[in-house]
Chains A and B, each alone.
Chain A
Amino acid sequence: MPERLLEIEDLRVEFKTRDGIAKVIDNLNISLQTGETLGIVGESGCGKSMTALSIMGLVPIPPGRIAGGRILLDGEDLLQASEPRMREVRGNEISMIFQEPMTSLNPVYSIGDQIAETARLHEGLSRADAMARALEMLRAVGIPAAERRINEYPHQMSGGMRQRVMIAMALACKPRVLIADEPTTALDVTVQAQIFDLLNDLKEKTGTAIIMITHDMGAIAEMAQRVVVMYAGHIIEQADVGQILTDPRHPYTQGLIRCVPHLTQTPSVERPPLLEIPGVVPALSQLGSGCSFAPRCQYADAKCRAEMPPSTAIDSGHDVACWLTEREAAA
Chain B
Amino acid sequence: MANISIIVVKRILNAAALILAVVILNFLLIHIAPGDIVDTIAGEMGGISPELIAEIRADYGLDKPLYEQLGLYVLRILQGDLGHSFFYDTPVVTLIWDALPQTLLLVITALSLALVIGTIFGVIAARRPNGAFSHLITVLALVGFSAPVFWTGIMFLIAFASFFPLFPPAGMAAPDLQPGSLDYYLDVLHHMVLPVLTLALIYLAFYSRLSRASMLDVLGSDYVRTARAKGLSERVVVYKHALRNALIPIVTIAGLQFAQVLSGAVLVEAVFTWPGLGTLALEAILRRDGPTILGILFFSSVVVVIFNLLTDLTYNLIDPRIRLGSKE
Contact = CB atoms under 8 A, between A and B. Distances in A.
Interface string A90-108: 1110011010100111111
A58 B223 contact: no
Interface string B150-177: 0000000000000000000000000000
Residue from the set B223, B225, B233, B241 with the largest chain A CB neighbour count within 10 Å: B223
Contact of A89 (B222, B228, B231, B232): B231
Contact of B227 (A56, A92, A100, A106): A106
A107 B233 CA distance: 19
Given A107-B245, A108-B244, A108-B245, A117 B230 contact: yes
A108 B127 CA distance: 21
A166 B226 contact: yes
B245 A104 contact: no
A215 B226 CA distance: 21
Interface residues on A, range: 20 to 34
B252 interface: no
Interface of B: 221-223, 225-233, 241, 244-245
Nearest to B218: A106
Name the prevailing secondary structure of the B interface residues. helix
Nearest to A118: B230
Interface in A168-187: 169
Nearest to A84: B233
Contacts of A88: 231
Contacts of A87: 231-233
Given A104-B223, A106-B245, 7 more contacts: A58-B228, A87-B233, A89-B231, A90-B229, A100-B222, A108-B245, A121-B230
Nearest to A172: B230
Nearest to A58: B228
B248 to A, nearest CB: 8
Residue from the set B221, B226, B230 with the largest chain A CB neighbour count within 10 Å: B230
Contacts of B241: 106, 109
Contacts of B222: 98, 100, 103-104
Which 3 residue pairs of A and B lie closest in terms of their CB atoms, listed nearest first? A90-B231, A91-B231, A91-B230
Interface string A132-173: 000000000000000000000000000000000010010000
A312 to B, nearest CB: 36
A130 to B, nearest CB: 13
Contacts of B223: 103-107
Contacts of B229: 56, 58, 90-91, 95-96, 98
A122 interface: yes
Interface string A244-281: 00000000000000000000000000000000000000
29 contacts: A58-B225, A58-B228, A58-B229, A87-B231, A87-B233, A88-B231, A90-B231, A91-B230, A91-B231, A92-B231, A100-B222, A103-B221, A103-B223, A104-B223, A104-B225, A105-B223, A105-B226, A106-B223, A106-B227, A106-B241, A106-B245, A107-B223, A107-B245, A108-B245, A117-B232, A121-B230, A122-B231, A166-B226, A169-B226
A63 to B, nearest CB: 11
A109 B231 CA distance: 17
A121 B236 CA distance: 11
A107 B246 CA distance: 11
Contacts of A89: 231
A105 B230 CA distance: 12
Nearest to A89: B231
B226 A98 contact: yes
Nearest to B224: A106
A117 B228 CA distance: 12
Nearest to A115: B230
B231 A121 contact: yes
Given A106-B245, A107-B245, A108-B244, A98 B225 contact: yes
Interface in A102-128: 103-109, 117-118, 121-122
B61 to A, nearest CB: 59
A263 to B, nearest CB: 32
Nearest to B227: A106
A95 B232 CA distance: 12
A91 B245 CA distance: 22
A92 B229 CA distance: 10
Contacts of A58: 225, 228-229
A83 B76 CA distance: 72
A190 B52 CA distance: 92
Contacts of A169: 226, 230
Contacts of B233: 87
Nearest to B232: A121
Nearest to B243: A108
A244 to B, nearest CB: 28
Contacts of B228: 58, 90
Nearest to B226: A104
B231 A106 contact: no
